[in-house]
Structure 1
Amino acid sequence: MTSPISFSSVCYKLSDKEQLQGKGGADHKEGSLVLSWSERGCRAGSTFPCSLLPDSNSGPELVLSEEEQSDTEDKEEAELGAMDDQRSVILHLISQLKLGMDLTKVVLPTFILEKRSLLEMYADFMAHPDLLLAISAGVTPEERVISFVEYYLTAFHEGRKGTLAKKPYNPIIGETFHCSWEVPKDRVKSKRTSPHSISCHELPMADDPCKSYKLRFVAEQVSHHPPISCFYCECKEKRLCVNTHVWTKSKFMGMSVGVSMIGEGVLRLLDHGEEYVFTLPSAYARSILTVPWVELGGKVNISCAKTGYSATVTFHTKPFYGGKVHRVTAEVKHNPTNTIVCKAHGEWNGTLEFTYSNGETKVIDTTALPVYPKKLRPLEKQGPMESRNLWQEVTHYLRLGDIDAATEQKRRLEEKQRMEERKRETLRTPWRPKYFIPEGDGWVYFNPLWKTH
């Protein structure tokens, strides 16, 4: 674990020209910088924290909103079972594993990769940003915690396109991913009083930026051993932000692979002074020799110390004999009075039914919810350590079906990471992330909304 960065002692100054120009010489426009030092109200001559390392990790980058475009990349994965030659590779790999073995350092075959980084996969938690922003619209603490649970239960299905289980790229240390969403203001309402009625065929876009909220997202791989990913998103207009750190740990379970998501996230509603601490479920790849598929499992907790509300969400794994897949149940409780205010059950990638303490019910079909396309810059405007740019050659060859070339490109990236790690060990220079700093047992975005507003 790296030590905290001393921002007071490590600074540099931007000249007027540097301050007024973005990457590639683009003219700066007020409010156009996404998740950058400049966006926080700084002006020419201000001092900014920077990294101590003289390599590509040179501090936060300028990301221009005007350069972002709606993402049109197809994330569908071919629904194919394991081919005979691929199955032989998996069998050979399995023969060398033991039950419960940690797979963190095991090199898995390239053909099971998903053509995107884990950092980008985390952005799919925000695929329904209208539900996230609607949390702050709740009139009472009870409405807000229930809205958060409703959002949480719908946040997982978009991360899995189809039923085929594939593995996203393991992020390289220092890798980053930036994107944003625009949410029409008239879509953000309290879902208790305004049932969701938008067809999944509608495009939830606003023609006028002034009539939409902006939700911005940045993710970064801050550690290699253990493999810790962080992501942060914020909406300034709604005074809402989420800060999360996750450490993934994989283990071999016979014909399955289990991935534990160690860490936690915190949703902050600044207008209400509320913090919702939440954990994440484990994921399992089943039937890895035939047609592998993914299910979620385990019990997660959501709690707000200020209001005394908490929730328990249980992702149920399929029983060995019979039973349904992808089941989830949830219970929201007001701890001071020991009162259950909401119960939910259904499938996290299907239909969910909510029952409230007043007897009312609501059904949410996750497959009918509108998916808001994320916006990101084209490859030619991305930095060398941004996910899609970093992995573009691997992705290119996977799309062509050239597994050997994809494997070679992946090997080159991983070897470069090992060389740089050996260099840092020799120079005794610890890795300094761009956007996150260690705080307590976790990691926090360098300039979060709750410290600037």
Structure 2
Amino acid sequence: MVEDTGDIGGEKEAVLSAPLSLDDEQDTNNNKYRAPNLVKRILSLFTNIRPGSDLTRLQLPPLFNIPKSQLQCYGELVYSNNNHLLSKCGASSISALERFVCVVAWSISAVRPLAFGVTPYNPILGETHHVSTANLNVLLEQVSHHPPVSALHATDQMQNIETIWCHYVIPTFHGTCIEGKVLGSKVLKLLNHSETYVMNSPNLVMRLFPVQGVECLGNVMIRCEETGLEANLMYKGSAVFGRRSSTHRAIQGRIYKSSSTKTLYEIAGHWDKTVTAKDPMSGKLRIIYNAKEAIGGLKTPVVRNPKGLWASESAVVWGEVNKGILSKSWDKAREAKCLIEEKERELVKLRASSAKPWRPKHFNLSYSNETGSWDCSPIQRWVPPAPIAVPP
């Protein structure tokens, strides 16, 4: 009989890789994740897939993976940031409007470059990722497998900041592209100011024809009920996909008062370069986000306390697969990945035969029949310091 993963990592090694950063597209080391005729290999996976198919159950060989779980990628959006933009959101020396501008910049920093043809692993049920950076402690858990729902809780007790995400992507094959609808909400609480910000994420579109590439598209709404401030940001793609144009990775939007709809700032720029805010009354323009400074050259987390690692930690669960990919030992990576997937299938059967339903350890998970959406709430008030940390 197969048992669920225990709490402590034991003798298993955690293998961590560099965060996705602005440098990835220019980093020649990224070629280790690509293979000859990769596009043909990817297209061969879809030979028997019809347009409109659900891809959440598709299993890829390691040749198509980057050495990290999707759970880790979500966590990096919060703890991998050179400018500590989250802490700036809670500053007491600025006005409510300036705090809102900081929240907009922090929201933009959660968009990272994605390479075509490679993808992170699908997290297993109950997988966790626990990392600290400065005073911010971040904990994630895969709280559902079908559909794949990830929960994130990050807290900074010193600045009284809390963020809670319930994140899930529904990918659909449309023949010439794969659209990933990013669902779930992001909630940021600045407790010292009694302010709560609610926002969503742009969708992901991977084009297969005529030119391959990945784009972040769609509208992002950011709201603060206490101050009545709102932002509407539109993420745009290339006018002709595959050719760089003025709209490539562009952002356009505005910050306004919901009560009057009066525009306070006009937002424009590119999320991989700089984004500016313009005062429509004075015409004054200023940079509110610099991607190179915020998400360029990000540092790889390190294990500070090996004995504190849980067996459910992403870097432990996928450690042997990570080793195989990083060393280009594809047979070893494939074998290690198959073992994980086979154990997960056996656990699914075990849970199905048990009268006791599986429950997350760190979050409460709920589903609304009325809205058709999932919601996650953390069990603990504060996230404890993690055995994995981002170097200062």
- Partner in structure 2 of residue 339 of structure 1: 262
Q: C-alpha separation between the residues in 1 aligned to 2:19 and 2:90?
A: 32
- Partner in structure 1 of residue 5 of structure 2: 56
Q: C-alpha separation between the residues in 2 aligned to 1:289 and 1:420?
A: 41
Question: What is the SS of the residue equivalent to 2:54?
Answer: coil
Q: Is 1:277 aligned to residue 182 of structure 2?
A: no
Give the alignment partner of residue 91 of structure 2, picking from 119, 131, 137. Answer: 137
- Partner in structure 2 of residue 111 of structure 1: 63
Q: C-alpha separation between the residues in 1 aligned to 2:42 and 2:258?
A: 48
For 1:354, the aligned partner's letter is A
- Write out aligned runs for 1:384-403 (5 A): 384-403=311-330
- Write out aligned runs for 1:218-229 (5 A): 218-229=139-150
Asked if structure 1 preserves the Cα contact closer than 8 Å seen for 2:215 and 2:249, the reply is yes
Deviations 1:125-182 (A, max 9, x none): 222362111112163221211111122112323xx37x54521111111100011111
Q: Is 1:239 aligned to residue 160 of structure 2?
A: yes
- Partner in structure 2 of residue 249 of structure 1: 170
For 2:293, the aligned partner's letter is A
**1:347: how far off?**
1.3
Q: Is 1:406 aligned to residue 355 of structure 2?
A: no
Question: What is the SS of the residue equivalent to 2:50?
Answer: coil
**1:238: how far off?**
0.7
| CA RMSD in angstroms, aligned pairs only | 2.9
Name the count of aligned residue pairs.
353
**1:95: how far off?**
1.7
**Identity among equivalent pairs (%):** 25
Question: What is the SS of the residue equivalent to 1:216?
Answer: strand
Give the alignment partner of residue 369 of structure 1, picking from 294, 302, 309. Answer: 294
- Partner in structure 2 of residue 5 of structure 1: none
Q: C-alpha separation between the residues in 1 aligned to 2:121 and 2:240?
A: 30
**1:72: how far off?**
7.5
Q: Is 1:90 aligned to residue 42 of structure 2?
A: yes
Unaligned segments of structure 2, at least 5 residues: 368-373, 384-392
- Write out aligned runs for 1:438-449 (5 A): 438-439=365-366, 441-449=374-382
Q: C-alpha separation between the residues in 1 aligned to 2:52 and 2:306?
A: 43
- Partner in structure 1 of residue 274 of structure 2: 351
Asked if structure 1 preserves the Cα contact closer than 8 Å seen for 2:149 and 2:168, the reply is yes
Structure 1 residues 88, 286: CA separation in 2 closer, same or farther (over 3 Å shift)?
closer
Q: C-alpha separation between the residues in 2 aligned to 1:57 and 1:264?
A: 30
Structure 1 residues 301, 96: CA separation in 2 closer, same or farther (over 3 Å shift)?
same
**1:122: how far off?**
1.2
Q: Is 1:318 aligned to residue 243 of structure 2?
A: no
Deviations 1:366-403 (A, max 9, x none): 11337664645269432221001110111111122232
Question: What is the SS of the residue equivalent to 1:142?
Answer: helix
- Partner in structure 2 of residue 31 of structure 1: none
**1:328: how far off?**
1.4
Q: Which moved more, 1:417-426 or 1:134-143?
A: 134-143
**Which of structures 1 and 2 has the larger relative contact order (alpha carbons within 8 angstroms, sep 6+)?**
2
Q: C-alpha separation between the residues in 2 aligned to 1:84 and 1:220?
A: 35
4+ residue segments displaced more than 6 Å:
none
Q: C-alpha separation between the residues in 2 aligned to 1:92 and 1:289?
A: 16
**1:83: how far off?**
4.7
Q: C-alpha separation between the residues in 1 aligned to 2:305 and 2:123?
A: 17
Question: What is the SS of the residue equivalent to 1:137?
Answer: coil
Structure 1 residues 94, 174: CA separation in 2 closer, same or farther (over 3 Å shift)?
same
- Partner in structure 2 of residue 16 of structure 1: none
Asked if structure 1 preserves the Cα contact closer than 8 Å seen for 2:252 and 2:269, the reply is yes
Unaligned segments of structure 1, at least 5 residues: 1-53, 63-68, 183-213
Question: What is the SS of the residue equivalent to 1:369?
Answer: helix
Structure 1 residues 91, 270: CA separation in 2 closer, same or farther (over 3 Å shift)?
closer
Q: C-alpha separation between the residues in 2 aligned to 1:74 and 1:246?
A: 19
For 1:448, the aligned partner's letter is R
Q: C-alpha separation between the residues in 2 aligned to 1:351 and 1:400?
A: 36
Superposition TM-score, scaled by structure 2 size? 0.81
Larger Rg: 1
- Partner in structure 1 of residue 218 of structure 2: 298
- Partner in structure 2 of residue 194 of structure 1: none
Asked if structure 2 preserves the Cα contact closer than 8 Å seen for 1:379 and 1:388, the reply is no
- Partner in structure 1 of residue 389 of structure 2: none
Q: C-alpha separation between the residues in 1 aligned to 2:19 and 2:377?
A: 32
